[in-house]
Chains A and B, each alone.
Chain A
Amino acid sequence: MKTLDRKGPGVVVALLTSDDVEHDIVLRMPPKRRYTVKLKITSIRKATPRFIEPDQD
């Protein structure tokens, strides 16, 4: 924060530098190439869990 700017009695505006804040900007970039494919659904099933065994020490 650099300075405080007094705008009148009881009104203080803080001047922030870019170091003080995070900017949450979003840029929607198009892919390099885009095309449509038709899908042939070969099966529909309920997913089952896949447990990864922990490494043995």
Chain B
Amino acid sequence: MDAYPWYCTVAADASCLQGDILRSCPVVVPTVATQFDAEAASAEVLEYDVVILSQSCDLVQRKVDLVLVCPVWELGAMSERSHYLRSTEGRETLRRGNLPGYHLLNACDIEGFEFPHLVVDFHNVYGVPFDLLVTHARDSGQRVRLLPPYREHLAQAFARFFMRVGLPVDISPFR
């Protein structure tokens, strides 16, 4: 299966594309307040490992001001917090794409960039200013990039999560 690798590495100054994995990306989130007060505004900076979800063409042609990213976690780190993900059944459900809010990425064995299976968390996505993201990527050195068709598979999983519809009255199951 080496003919279809999941990942490659790209130079720090390479254009940011969908599927790029950025380590410790700062995300600025305004502190929750019931009413906006410009004099006392504050924010939290959250650092996540993220994967870029914005379309590559929008990034290359600079058609977006904010880049859509979402956090990724090592499967082991998530499993520590979830009994379900520690189970074989849970991991299989995740692998098969039956956990709509999550998407599993393969482990990476590129020398110097190794990581175990990653879980992409679609529940909280963030918009990072384009220039901030590019600067962070440039300052972070070489990075790992998810390759086609796994990149498109990720985008499709996000689309499925985003467009899902819960019916108030579902059709009764066939018995």
Question: Cβ of A24 and Cβ of B46 under 8 Å apart?
Answer: no
10 further contact pairs, Cβ within 8 A, besides A31-B48, A33-B24, A37-B42: A18-B89, A27-B78, A27-B85, A27-B121, A31-B71, A34-B44, A37-B43, A38-B41, A41-B39, A52-B63
Question: Cβ of A34 and Cβ of B45 under 8 Å apart?
Answer: yes
Question: Cβ of A29 and Cβ of B73 under 8 Å apart?
Answer: yes
Number of A-B contacts (CB under 8 A): 80
Question: Cβ of A22 and Cβ of B100 under 8 Å apart?
Answer: yes
Chain A nearest CB, measured from B75 CB (Å) = 11
> A41 — which chain B residues lie within 8 A by C-beta?
38-39, 41
Chain B nearest CB, measured from A57 CB (Å) = 15
Binary B-proximity of A1-26 (CB < 8 A = 1, otherwise 0) = 00010000000101000110111111
> A29 — which chain B residues lie within 8 A by C-beta?
71, 73, 77-78, 81, 121
The answer to whether the Cβ of B31 comes within 8 Å of any Cβ in the partner chain is yes
A31 to B150, CA, bound (A): 25
Instruction: Provide 11 A-B residue pairs closer than 8 Å at the C-beta atoms, listed in order of the A residue.
Output: A23-B90, A23-B98, A23-B99, A24-B99, A29-B121, A32-B49, A34-B46, A36-B31, A36-B43, A41-B41, A44-B38
